[in-house]
A and B are shown apart, each in its own frame.
Chain A
Amino acid sequence: DARVTQTPRDKVTEMGQEVTMRCQPILGHNTVFWYRQTMMQGLELLAYFRNRAPLDDSGMPKDRFSAEMPDATLATLKIQPSEPRDSAVYFCASGLVGSGDNEQFFGPGTRLTVL
């Protein structure tokens, strides 16, 4: 069955290193979301795209985070340089906005640990 995939599932890196997280949305979905989940802040929306165009990235620290959709089958979230406070689980979700509702389908997440 169709599902959102994310790679890597786990990433441990050292402070200052670049981190790239990848997401493959469900085929045919026109909207992709990036979320960050921490114990303290809960689930935060970082950015989202519609038809590969960035619609809103106001939740993302601009100085070190960047999100792109090189094509309809790939979304990336990069952190450069990474910091310990970036440690979190990062979720990608996709949906078909415009169909009358906003149901989102979540990937399994990337657990990032920055030492």
Chain B
Amino acid sequence: AQSVAQPEDQVNVAEGNPLTVKCTYSVSGNPYLFWYVQYPNRGLQFLLKYITGDNLVKGSYGFEAEFNKSQTSFHLKKPSALVSDSALYFCAVRAFNQAGTALIFGKGTTLSVSS
């Protein structure tokens, strides 16, 4: 079965420190992987994606993610966290079924950056 796991419900970091939000996936075939961010009372916003090519993907707001095929992971990273990065982050993988394609989202990880 195709799935996405975000093992941490919450990640706490101090402003200026590096942050990592973890994601692992299980999918048949080549994975298409995504990160989205959700701010309070808002819809999800696209951050970045991995389709093919370089394992390190750069996205919006200084975020990047590293695709690791052997570990089936796609962790989200940022070298220096900002208080404004505090939000709910979702990892997603493209899923295939007989009807078509859609995204499967993880449960989400709440990132809290303290000043």
Q: Chain A residues in contact with chain B, CB under 8 A?
A: 4, 33, 42-43, 45, 48, 50, 55-56, 58, 91, 93, 97, 100-109
Contacts and interface: CB of A to CB of B under 8 A. Distances in A.
Contacts of A33: 102-103
Given A48-B100, A55-B99, A56-B100, A101 B49 contact: yes
Interface of B: 32, 34, 36, 41-46, 49, 51, 90, 94, 97, 99-108
Contacts of B108: 42-43
A55 B100 contact: yes
B59 to A, nearest CB: 11
**Secondary structure of the B contact surface, majority rule:** strand
A56 B43 contact: no
Given A45-B102, A101-B51, A4 B34 contact: no
Q: At the interface, is chain A mostly helix, strand, loop or mixed?
A: strand
Q: Which 10 A-B pairs have the closest CB atoms?
A: A106-B43, A56-B99, A55-B100, A42-B107, A106-B44, A55-B99, A43-B105, A102-B94, A108-B43, A107-B43
B32 A108 contact: no
Nearest to A56: B99
Contacts of B36: 106
A87 B46 CA distance: 25
Contact of B90 (A43, A100, A101): A43
